[in-house]
Structure 1
């Protein structure tokens, strides 16, 4: 039996396949349109801007101009140092706390487990503006609740927002409060995948809780921990909202981050070419940091 339609040279199966592909592409079209408009176009436009000197009108083709400015820009190095300092202060402590919370949430003796999980996840859904305003009030040097509590303990008020170390600490505390629960939920999913038979066998062999955590829980959480580490690194390299809304990058640029500096170059100085170069520097650092973590943590024993 012939599979060709009368008077037509194309097989029927080919027509059906073309129709099926057309339906599939029809469903994909809205996503591809949004992807091209809000993802692909900004990336290609940033590449174009990066290779031009936008301080002149019209923009001048100067492929190495913005790159050379990176090495001689002291403010960029300040922003990079501040960003790396926040990463070193906040990410390890947050992941350590998230791991401890994940193990505690997985305990069969814990009551109201769902309520505890919900409470840990709530900070993620709180709006950035709202929680930034909350932290500004809590750590206000004059009438903040934190300083009032410290004064009642006899420690005395601390200059949180008006000193470089204090402002950096506030940013790290705010990030820890916001993202610890999110990472704890991810790690909890990993803890729940560990077979209970391993813990039962360890208890029969006389292993303590610490030994069970060190030799069973932690090795089997390696991949989830790596995932959380990479996400935390990328997120902190893009840190903008907290320094912009809580400390405004101050005092004295002590909390100026790469993303905040990128914003200032683009939308205050209107130097979009150099701003795009800083954006691509952030991308490069994120990729490099992820590769290093995969090399050090993700390797097989």
Structure 2
């Protein structure tokens, strides 16, 4: 009996997975059927994403007017340190980043916490009102802000009428107030966008955690800082990274509200790239170098944020 069983086991077919061994994934990589399905998508990605990235990297090693360029190697990088307009645009971009991103994240957290209250009336209306700015046209709302914050606009008229100020504020013609206007504009637009992420994440937190905290006598403020914020850390990290990248690429609001003025006080890196490519004498090689500065800082800041948010 035992000999017949052993003969049957020896004659049984081998497991195909064991037979393939480590060569299974190798053969699947060269499977023509799989590449037939994904080949078109891979070709489009290579054509419209990988090739432009590599071409812009090669272009950043050249300099010249228009299409007449010469290879300068790392000469464009050396030029960056001696370019006062680039240094001004870089400092302006980081001022917007350091002030606006934390303020927007904190405001989004506060609003989402308030709008997550179960007994709040008209919650849906408030959520829609705060989220609505992020789906409006960039150009339309920028022109609206430019009109509102003009010297004789509705903002100055309202402040004068209420007696808060005695003289109109030069929102668009003073370097300090121009920065304030840009910060107010992008905060107004993108706060609701981040709020939706926090609100959806808060609604997925188990309610029993808050009930247990209330039974232990933990107040609402401590619940927010010791329960809500720690559980929202992955979402906070996501919104912070995306807001950082978006602020480093800030262009539309500056272009439509202040055009980078006054005296380049609101000039950003993205607008400087636009000026180098289309407004000044075109120097596409130097513009490509400035664009890689944005890529560099976006990568560094994202890595730092991931490092800081890492669990101990």
Which TM-score applies when normalising by structure 2?
Answer: 0.85
CA RMSD in angstroms, aligned pairs only: 1.8
> Map of 1:2-151 to 2, 5 A cutoff?
20-21=33-34, 24-25=37-38, 29=40, 31-55=41-65, 58-142=68-152, 144-151=153-160
Which moves more between the two structures, 187-196 or 254-263?
Answer: 187-196
**Matches of 2:145 and 2:288 in 1, distance apart?**
31
| Alignment pair present for 1:286 and 2:298 | yes
Poorly superposed stretches of 4+, deviation over 4 Å:
17-20
SS of aligned partner of 1:239: coil
Which TM-score applies when normalising by structure 1?
Answer: 0.88
| Alignment pair present for 1:194 and 2:205 | yes
1:21 shift after superposition:
2.2
**Residue equivalent to 1:168:** 179
1:117 shift after superposition:
2.5
SS of aligned partner of 1:109: coil
Specify whether residues 243 and 225 from structure 1 end up closer, same or farther in structure 2 by C-alpha distance, changes over 3 A only.
same
Q: Deviations over 1:161-187 (max 9, x none)?
A: 010011100000000000000000011
Specify whether residues 45 and 18 from structure 1 end up closer, same or farther in structure 2 by C-alpha distance, changes over 3 A only.
closer
Q: Which has the larger radius of gyration?
A: 2
Q: Deviations over 1:240-276 (max 9, x none)?
A: 1111110000001000000001111111220000000
Aligned length: 281
Which runs of 5 or more structure 1 residues have no equivalent in the other structure?
Answer: 1-13
Specify whether residues 258 and 22 from structure 1 end up closer, same or farther in structure 2 by C-alpha distance, changes over 3 A only.
closer
